[in-house]
């Protein structure tokens, strides 16, 4: 009977030890897998960037892209200069307030349609959202 108890005790210890080591290996494997996935994402992004750079060599710049990017205003915003047709109105994005144009269009950042507003409304929106506006 004493041998049977001793054998049961050894089996219980064996299962506890092996069970905990398998649990640790499982966690380690998950962590390694997660790390590999993260590395894979980063590497894929880098590879994609290299591919994009290679495909653009020797190509002319698309002027519509630079025009879209130019409506994203930085620094002190000059609303009078943006209002080229001098009608007192501009088109402004209601999500990205610094995206302003004198023509209807879409925001190159969020793809929302620009809303027609007066110069004073645009100025108020910019001030309210922390942007600097050139005073006259």
- Convert the chain into a string of H (helix), E (strand) and C (coil): CHHHHHHHHHHHHHHHHHHHHHHHHHHHHHHHHHHHHHHHHHHHHHHHHHHHHHHHCCCCCCHHHHHHHHCECCCCECHHHHCCCCCCEEEECCCCCCEEECCCCECCCCCCECEEEEHHHHHHHHHHCCCCECCC
pLDDT exceeds 80 at position 56: no
Gap between the Cα atoms of 79 and 135, Å rounded: 9
**Beta-ladder partners of 77:** 133
The answer to whether the CB of 128 falls within 8 A of the CB of 107 is no
Mean pLDDT throughout 8-34? 64
pLDDT of residue 23: 54
Mean pLDDT of the chain: 76
* β partners of residue 99: 72
- CB atoms under 10 Å from CB of 105, counted, come to 15
- Please state the domain extents for the chain: 1-59, 63-128
Polymer length in residues for the chain? 136
d(CA 116, CA 106): 12
pTM of the full structure? 0.52
Position 81 scores a pLDDT of 94
The predicted structure's pLDDT at residue 46: 44
Quick check: 108 pLDDT over 90? yes
| pLDDT tens digits along 38-53 | 444 444 444 444 444 4
pLDDT score of 102: 96
């Amino acid at each position: 009977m004493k041998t049977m108890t001793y054998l049961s005790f050894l089996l219980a210890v064996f299962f506890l030890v092996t069970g905990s080591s398998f649990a640790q290996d499982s966690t380690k494997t998950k962590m390694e897998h997660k790390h590999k996935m993260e590395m894979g994402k980063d590497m894929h992004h880098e590879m994609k960037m290299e591919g994009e750079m290679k495909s653009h060599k020797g190509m002319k710049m698309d002027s519509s892209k630079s025009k879209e990017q130019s409506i994203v205003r930085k620094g002190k915003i000059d609303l009078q200069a943006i209002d080229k047709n001098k009608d007192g109105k501009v088109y402004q994005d209601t999500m990205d307030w610094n995206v302003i144009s004198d023509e209807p269009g879409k925001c190159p950042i969020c793809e929302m349609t620009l809303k027609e507003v007066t110069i004073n409304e645009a100025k108020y929106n910019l001030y309210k959202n922390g942007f600097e506006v050139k005073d006259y």
